[in-house]
DNA sequence: GGCAAAAGGTTTCATTTGAAACTAAATCGC
DNA sequence: GCGATTTAGTTTCAAATGAAACCTTTTGCC
């Protein structure tokens, strides 16, 4: 059953479907990581990237996680206060700091990462590997199309 | 190139991909409708549903749009102030109001709906109809899986 | 060198958000 | 019927967000 040619049907409107699905998933995950590790989504993303790629600057983290620099700054401050990351002054550039996981941060990462994957696996139980492949591809292309169109409009 | 079995890779983490894609699309659409019609996303959703389904109560609109009742209340107030919707007392239930598009609201809907579809079409230019079918199906299943899992966890 | 412009981060401020408390009306139990 | 509970909707409050202004260091450029 498809949309009747001329009509706007909210349920069939892809931006709406995307938003609803993303919120449902995001609320679930955010709740889980807040409850289990006391991390917000931005904080969790920083831990994930620092654990995955090693030390970095905030600017690089912005690009890597697609988050605002204010968001990254605050997440980094919070993680620093909890001693999960260290912020050493960057010898190469006095404006920026070098962020990296502390021992405690690495321990957290070692616990969080498998847990995140397990959670994802439970969420995606009903999806076959080729379906997931397709989903990833579609999401990437959507993101690309949206940013391209945004740039075109200005 | 797939994820190396044991590792967490943010780029391959579906909740992340979903969130990034949804934000990109949402920012694009939200910007367009704010610029063109002065509507926020919640306001736009109400106009879309009222135009599509006819008059309704706020409670029904919450269910229909998956938005919080506070969000709906505020969007309805704003639309009422702009005389785009009317809020007549509901004879059948003194607690609720009956919301419906005014003439002006219908005129706006008649303009907004085709514009929304055109915008969606531009965004989805590069996707084939079967791909879109697949995308819709995957998003619905994801939403379902997330709410089911959320319910299971409590 | 020295000054203008840009870049990394932080702070401030105004807006958005939703949970919880609240009001008023309807329903349930007896 | 008549008090206890629920439900529709609003208000209040505290937290999250991001744009714009800000400070500091670096990079051009002459």
Tell me the three state secondary structure of residue A39.
coil
- How far apart, in Å, are the Cα atoms of B149 and each of A68, A113, B139? 30, 19, 15
Which tens digit of pLDDT belongs to each residue from B133-152?
A: 999 999 999 999 999 999 88
Which is it for the CA torsion A100, A104, A110, A111, positive or negative?
negative
pLDDT above 90 for A153: no
Which tens digit of pLDDT belongs to each residue from A66-82?
A: 999 999 999 999 999 99
Mutation for testing the B interface, residue in A37, A131, A138 having most B CBs under 10 Å: A138
B77 touches strand D (CB under 7 A): yes
pLDDT of residue B153: 75
**Cβ contact (<8 Å) for B27 and A149?**
no
pTM of the model: 0.92
pLDDT above 50 for B3: no
What integer best gives the mean pLDDT of chain B? Answer: 93
pLDDT average, residue stretch A24-42: 94
Q: Which of A31, A51, A143 sits opposite B20 (nearest CB)?
A: A143
- Assign A89 a pLDDT band (cuts: 50, 70, 90): confident
Our measurement of CA A58 to C1' C5, in angstroms, reads 22
């Amino acid at each position: 059953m498809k949309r009747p040619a001329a009509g706007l049907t909210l349920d069939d409107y892809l931006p709406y479907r995307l938003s609803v699905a993303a919120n449902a998933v995001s609320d679930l995950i955010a709740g889980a990581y807040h409850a289990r590790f006391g991390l917000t989504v931005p904080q969790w993303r920083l831990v994930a990237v620092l654990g995955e790629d090693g030390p970095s600057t905030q600017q690089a983290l912005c690009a890597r996680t697609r988050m605002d620099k204010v968001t990254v700054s605050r997440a980094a401050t919070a993680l620093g206060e909890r001693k999960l990351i260290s912020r050493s002054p960057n010898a190469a550039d006095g404006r920026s700091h070098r962020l990296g996981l502390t021992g405690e941060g690495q321990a957290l990462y070692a616990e969080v990462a498998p847990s995140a994957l397990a959670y994802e696996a439970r969420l995606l139980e009903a999806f076959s590997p080729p379906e997931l492949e397709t989903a990833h591809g579609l999401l990437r292309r959507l993101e690309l199309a949206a940013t391209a169109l945004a740039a075109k409009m200005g």
